[in-house]
Structure formats: structure tokens, C-alpha cells
Structure 1
């Protein structure tokens, strides 16, 4: 079986930086010193497990930590959470993606200018939750069904979750523009690295018999890659790793494509490709 890998896939600079900071922090920490991460550092269970074996403790709440070092994951946190950690005396290592920090600063500025902040994104995603915590009055809209939340005739300052697709952002802006408002101010906060991965995946999936999108099932950017590929190739499968592959999906296929979300480590991609090529040779 011929296996093609997307030109752009796997770790983005923000994720790579967060993983690097986690590894450096673990190396510097002495015996008996706890290193925590408030939520999974990235949405990939294989990488989270690898770091756990090195000593990184993933927790869901500040209440689960006693003392030591806290790593702020790539998605960032709300300022209130950050202040709470400082007040309790934790040593903080901030691995928040620079684009997420930029987004947080933008919503603060929009609020200061008198706009009612609108975030196009997933309300329960940690990046969005952190951004919501930066302002007092904010509306999160995931799709057109949520547009009823928008205030009528308001001054709307619109931003977007960094890993959304340009197509979704455009469709949402078109729908918002058809509603009543007094002013719209839109700032593009999309991640260029995420867009490159989306474009590369769409191009590849149209050239293969079967397409595999590797990454965490809770990873928003990976799910989006899979959704985009399915629009162009129905034989698209979102898997976390090789162990999840149903070999039956390969029967009758001669060319396979592989891409991966921005939180998928290279070793997962390489292992999948090696097994896929070996499977084809064996058959």
C-alpha cells in the first residue's frame, strides 16, 4: 500500500513550545517537588501519558494541588485562575500559546472600547473558557443556532477561537451581518498554522482511497481536520493511534493518506505510517 503524509501535520509551534517547557520543568524539578498541569497540557492522551511517566501530574482543579510548580497549558487559563495560583504560592510556568495570549488581550481591548464581545467557538473548549474569563460581558456562539444570544442593535466586537476554519468563520460572519446591529468590529484571530494543516489535509484527502486523521478525540483542531476531510473523501477516519485502526477499512485500498492535528506528536504519526506500510507489504 502506498502511504502519503500531509505536507503540514502534527505539532504546531505553540504545542511544541508547551511540550518543551514541560520537559524542561520536569528536568529542573528536584526529588519530592511536584509538577502539575491544570488540565491536559494538550489534547492527546498518548503524549499526556508519556509526560505522566516523567512526573507531570494532570489535575482538573487548583484544589487538587498542594504545593510546587504549576504548568499553564497551551490553551491558557482565565486571569482569575492565574491570580489564585499566585496567591497560593505556586511557582508558575506559563506555556500558553502566544496566539491565545493575543486573543485574550484583544477581547480585553474590545471590552475597553465599549464593544460587546462575541467569540465564535466552542463554549466548553478550555481556550474559549480562558478567553471568556478575561472579560465581564461576552457571548459565545458555536453555530447559527446560537445567534439568538446576540444583543439586538449592539456594538459587536467579534473574535474567533484560534483553531476554527476560515470557512466556518466566514459563514458565521455572514449570518451575523444579516442580523440587527449598530456596529461590527471583526478581528481575525485564526491560527495560520491550523489553516495550513486544514488546506494540506483537504488537498491530500482528494488524492487517496482512504484518509486517516490522527489525534485526540477531544482535540478541536483534529476533529475539524476530520470533518473537512470527510466533506471531500467519505472514507476518512479519525483515530488516536494505530491500535484503534480497524484493518477492514484497508481492504481494497491501494493509496492511503495520513494527516494529524496540531497536538499529535511525531512519534504517533511515524508509528502509524510504519505499521500501515508494513500491513500493505504483508498483504
Structure 2
């Protein structure tokens, strides 16, 4: 990776750490892998690791911390998981209780951090191919929806699949399938194209997470498995305590997007 890209990713983390940046991270530090976050007590860590293994589309792991260690040098220089995301979510007994920009004051020695691949990484390849990414065009967060598709349970963890959506013309949707299939570690190919009702989405204009985007005449909604899935699962199993990223507010790593491509 070039020094300029490394600097962009570190600058993004430092801006989040200082509180200067608190927004969604789509298209931030282009070229760098972004990651979803789930932080769980050690007693739940094995079950969640197994859940990720059984559900690689929504939960492709790109990193796991040591117990109690907030630093993940394999993902980035001077990376502190407690402060380097622009917004977090704190959950108690399955209820969202806070959305802070720093979690150093609630960090515990029994916590394990799981970093999950994010579709923002394959968006770079879509843009390079000349495809539209509507939420980037509109300067908004990607729309995300809970579906009727069940995940594969593991231990205490089970719940619905969450998907992200990008509207595309049918020919562009075919191209997007080809492009994103090369990135299995950041969700890979779409899980559904077309009618949202077929996967349990009642109103495409009302996402469960993120922002609604315009779907223009001649376009179809294209749905990818989403790393927000753990949040829907957490809501269903109601653990005593855990922390996640706020949807759309990812960890920006130093890992190059190109390193994730296959074929």
C-alpha cells in the first residue's frame, strides 16, 4: 500500500478519535478496507465466532482481538478499537442504550472485538467500473433492511439476515454480481435482486437502518448480505452487554481493498 493511502486511513481514525469526524464512512479513505464491529464478553465469544463461521455472507471475519486488548495492529497502525470509529452503539439486555463516539470509559478486560468485512470495500470496484452507487451520489448512509431470511444459528446466536441495498439498472446489476463475486470477504455477490417483498421487506422506502435512497425508473433494488446482521441477532438474544458500530460508521483499516479480491 502506498504511503498516501496509509495516511488517509490513519487520518480517518485520528479524526474519529478526536471527535472531529462523527459521520458515516462511505467512500472515506478510498482504497482501504472498512469493517463492521461487534464487541462481546468472552463468555459469548466462542458462540459468536461459530456464528460467523456458519454465516460467512453477512459475517465475513477480517480480524479478531485478544481478550481485553483494544489494539489490532494487524489491521492498522496506531489503531484503538475504543476510539477510532466515528460512532458506536452500546447494548444492554438487547436494548440500545447509547450511541457514543468513544467507548474508553466503558471498556472491560473481558471484551473481545470482532471485525467483519463491509460492502463499502466492494463499492470502490463498482465505482471503478462506472456503476452507480446511489447513497454515495446522494451523500447519505446506505439503506439496510431486516429480512425474513434466517441466519444459521450457533449457540445462543440466531436471528434474521440484514441486507444493504443499491438500486441499479438490470444490465448494471448483472455487472455488479460479477464484480462483487470477487470479494467474498466483504459479503461477495448479492443475495437477492428485485422484489423486496420476497425477502420480507414491506416498504423499500423505510429502511431499518441507514437512509432511504432514490430508485429511478428502470432500476431494480439489489440486495447484499450486511454486517449489521449481528445487531439484529443481538436484539433477538438480548445479551447483558455488548458494543457494535453504529450502522454506516465503520472502522477504517490500513488493509488495501485490492488484497481482498480473488480471481
Specify the TM-score bucket, using the shorter chain as the normaliser: under 0.3
Instruction: Give the number of the structure whose residues are more often strand, by fraction.
Output: 2
Which of 1 and 2 has greater Rg? 1
The alignment's TM-score, normalised by the length of structure 1, stands at 0.24
Considering Cα pairs closer than 8 Å and 6+ residues apart, tell me whether 1 or 2 has the greater RCO. Answer: 2
